[in-house]
């Protein structure tokens, strides 16, 4: 048998890897570090300070950011709950309902939003909402988020369901459970890690979204990303860096959670 190829031995591997990691993470590190800058300049270091964090929470713009944060969180929770429920139902239909007409079409339909450029979805959603007379505001953001979060919630849920052998539900049916009982008492608990993982992923996708939100939001309704964008347009102040760092922290926590939950699920198998 051919010897295992070690990609690390390739010429320039190390240099390319370092370059890629640098390009990916340097901006994030710069923003995080400079959020603790005592100076008002965004480029020169003036010593360590928490003043910009204080400014975010208690400064003149605090109420605006607070409202945006509340909007972001409630929309993210609402969108994650709804899209997770829909994705769970979709996964059950796709993987447990046997063959039905238009199955592969449905699969495509569920996953298409992942392939379509977000700007296209944003424009289409805006046009659709105005065509049906859905007035822009908080609700338009929520509905749009529910829709585009579905494929993100679907992926971990379907992956999990695929790994659960159908004989568990058959055993439940064999032991006199109704189909709904088999779903609720057997399939759902076994899928819990996948569902939680899907929920967290949908939550973070919703929380971070800018493009679609910016299109469908009504005047005066802001989420954190649009509020940050609005603030940046007026000139980059270090408080934007502080708030970005906070958002980054939340994202990292949730993505890590989602990953850990997924891995925990794998470990409890068998």
Convert residues 114-153 into a mask of x (bound to other proteins by CB under 8 A) and - (unbound): ----------------------------------------
Of these, 32, 111, 181, 251, which contacts other proteins (CB under 8 A)? Answer: 181
Spatial CB neighbours of 93, under 8 Å, sequence gap ≥ 6: 100, 106
Q: Is 44 in the site for other proteins (CB under 8 A)?
A: no
Q: Is 163 in the site for other proteins (CB under 8 A)?
A: no
Contact at 8 Å (CB) between 126 and 144? Answer: no
Of these, 173, 211, 248, 257, which contacts other proteins (CB under 8 A)? Answer: 173
Q: Is 231 in the site for other proteins (CB under 8 A)?
A: no
Give bridge partners of residue 37 from the DSSP assignment: 48
Task: Please say which residue, 29 or 175, places its beta carbon nearer to other proteins.
Answer: 175
Q: Is 162 in the site for other proteins (CB under 8 A)?
A: no
| 23, 25, 28, 34 alpha-carbon torsion, rounded to 10° | -90
Q: Where does this chain touch other proteins (CB under 8 A) — which range of 51-59, 67-75, 117-125, 163-171?
A: 163-171
Give the residue ranges of DSSP H helices in the chain: 13-34, 51-58, 62-96, 103-115, 118-131, 138-163, 167-174, 179-181, 188-208, 211-216, 224-233, 238-268
Site residues (vs other proteins, CB under 8 A): 165, 167-168, 170-179, 181, 186, 189-190, 268-270
């Amino acid at each position: 048998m051919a010897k295992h190829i070690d990609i690390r031995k390739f010429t320039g591997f190390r240099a390319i890897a370092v370059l890629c990691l640098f390009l990916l993470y340097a901006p994030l590190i710069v923003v995080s570090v400079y959020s603790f800058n005592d100076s008002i300049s965004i480029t020169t270091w003036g010593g360590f300070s928490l003043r910009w964090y204080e400014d975010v929470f208690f400064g003149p713009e605090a109420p605006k950011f607070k409202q945006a944060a509340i909007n972001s969180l409630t929309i993210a929770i609402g969108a994650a709950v709804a899209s997770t429920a829909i994705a769970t139902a979709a996964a059950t239909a796709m993987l447990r309902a046997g063959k039905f007409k238009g199955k592969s079409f449905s699969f495509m339909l569920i996953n298409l939003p992942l392939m379509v450029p977000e700007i296209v979805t944003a424009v289409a959603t805006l046009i659709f909402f105005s065509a049906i007379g859905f007035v822009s505001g908080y609700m338009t953001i929520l509905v749009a988020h529910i829709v585009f979060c579905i494929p993100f919630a679907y992926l971990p849920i379907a992956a999990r369901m695929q790994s659960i052998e159908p004989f568990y539900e058959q055993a439940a049916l064999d032991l006199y459970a109704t189909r709904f009982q088999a779903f609720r008492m057997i399939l759902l608990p076994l899928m819990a890690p996948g569902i939680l993982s899907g929920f967290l992923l949908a939550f973070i996708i919703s929380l971070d979204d800018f493009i679609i939100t910016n299109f469908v939001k009504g005047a005066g309704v802001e989420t954190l990303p649009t509020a940050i964008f609005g603030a940046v347009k007026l000139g980059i102040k270090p408080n934007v860096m502080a708030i970005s760092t906070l958002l980054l922290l939340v994202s990292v926590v949730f993505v890590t959670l989602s990953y850990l939950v997924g891995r925990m699920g794998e470990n409890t198998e068998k």
